[in-house]
Structure 1
Amino acid sequence: GDSLSIHQLAAQGELDQLKEHLRKGDNLVNKPDERGFTPLIWASAFGEIETVRFLLEWGADPHILAKERESALSLASTGGYTDIVGLLLERDVDINIYDWNGGTPLLYAVRGNHVKCVEALLARGADLTTEADSGYTPMDLAVALGYRKVQQVIENHILKLFQSNLVPADPE
């Protein structure tokens, strides 16, 4: 029969078949497809958390960028897959990585109205001042799209940063 590629298997979360493929081949775990997407990038884009976890354990490199600078982190953020975002950030990937579009994980999470994902990225230090190619910051984008909850999350984050930098600790 016509078998699926490791990239398709990763995207679809077909873990057993994927494991079989990886056991057979030499260093298929980081093999790019024609767009430069690795199995990890595909699994991240489709929210396949167990597949992402397995690929990372198997030695997949979360720092690899596809041909247009797409990253596993950006694609997981686009989909609002907060658990995957967390797993990737544990591997010290660049939280402010930008792609061909000038998009960053935070900008993609805001654009998708993924509140939990925005919170997770901000908690880990995502840069709020980075502008998309359009000139929008994450806050501008949230306001323009009318995403009140995302806007609130960003405002609260700014307030916390402001308070922690300016307000002296209470003498008890």
Structure 2
Amino acid sequence: MPDFKRGRSFLRGAPAACLILFLAACSGGQPSAPETAAGTTAAGAPAVPSASGAAPPSSAAPGASSSTRPALSKEAQMETDRLLIRAAKANDPVQVRKLIAAGGDVNAKDGIQDSAFLYAGAEGFNEVLKLTIAAGADVKATNRYGGTALIPASEHGHVETVKILIAAGVPVDHVNNLGWTAMQEAILLNDGGPRQQETVRLLLEAGANPDIRDPQGRTALQNAERLGFTEIAALIRG
């Protein structure tokens, strides 16, 4: 069996394909089909190690629950999760897909409380975001500011991302550690332009409550009026 400590130093920074081959070796078996240099089987599917070392059935592909993810050792799980978060932050859906198939946990967080799901949502990396949701992301998860993925997505005016997160069931009225909802951040931390207007419209359509007050006691309407965002104010009144 390979020396795992030496393996970890080799894997650090290695591509996902190397990680997948190494994990298969550590589990005591070989992939069920010949592998290409890209870390896939001859049929083109990711070579995914399972508890026995063989590739799991197609039901264990991205979208499966945590109970159907390949069983990894604690150290291998940590490394796979680390690589998954790194791939998500690089907006690399190909690597994200492979690492999810290899057992990566889309809810695992790094040292600053980012998960693949939370980061993709905040930054508007929609392809990665959809992969994490299909793989069982906790849509109620919160970041280091105590906010859901919907709050920074709304702040940045990522309209398509906001649609995806609302459809996935992210709470629209969650209040973060700063005392702001997604709607308040969409107003307070941007320019009130077309993307922010559409974001507010989507939140209102999804049932968001504009009367939740910020720490200064102001509603979303009061903040929109105070900042001169007349279009947003009209949306809230309407």
1:66 matched to which residue of 2? 110
Asked whether the equivalents of residues 16 and 98 of structure 2 are also in contact (C-alpha less than 8 Å), the reply is no
* 2:18 counterpart (17, 20, 26): 20
Asked whether the equivalents of residues 11 and 18 of structure 2 are also in contact (C-alpha less than 8 Å), the reply is no
- 2:135 aligned with 1:137, yes or no? no
What code does the residue aligned with 2:17 have?
K
Higher normalized helix content (fraction of residues): 1
Q: C-alpha displacement at 1:112, in angstroms?
A: 2.3
Which has the higher Rg, Structure 1 or Structure 2?
Answer: 2
Write the distance in 1 (CA, Å) between the matches of 2:172 and 2:12.
33
Measured on the aligned residues, the alpha-carbon RMSD in Å equals 2.5
Question: Secondary structure of the equivalent of 1:108?
Answer: helix
Query: Aligned in 2, Cα 1:104/1:6: closer, same or farther, shift over 3 Å?
Result: farther
* 1:110 counterpart (146, 149, 154): 154
1:84 matched to which residue of 2? 128
Q: C-alpha displacement at 1:95, in angstroms?
A: 0.5
Bigger Cα displacement from structure 2, 19-28 vs 114-123: 19-28
- 2:96 aligned with 1:42, yes or no? no
Asked whether the equivalents of residues 74 and 105 of structure 1 are also in contact (C-alpha less than 8 Å), the reply is yes
1:167 matched to which residue of 2? none
Asked whether the equivalents of residues 148 and 170 of structure 2 are also in contact (C-alpha less than 8 Å), the reply is no
Greater relative CO (CA pairs within 8 A, separation 6+): 1
TM-score by length of 1: 0.73
Percent pairwise identity: 21
Asked whether the equivalents of residues 7 and 42 of structure 1 are also in contact (C-alpha less than 8 Å), the reply is no
Q: C-alpha displacement at 1:108, in angstroms?
A: 2.0
What code does the residue aligned with 1:31 have?
M
Write the distance in 1 (CA, Å) between the matches of 2:10 and 2:124.
25
Q: C-alpha displacement at 1:87, in angstroms?
A: 1.3
- 2:197 aligned with 1:148, yes or no? yes
Which runs of 5 or more structure 2 residues have no equivalent in the other structure? 1-8, 27-71, 209-238
Write the distance in 1 (CA, Å) between the matches of 2:119 and 2:105.
15
TM-score by length of 2: 0.55
2:207 matched to which residue of 1? 158
Asked whether the equivalents of residues 62 and 72 of structure 1 are also in contact (C-alpha less than 8 Å), the reply is yes
What count of residue pairs does the alignment treat as equivalent?
A: 146
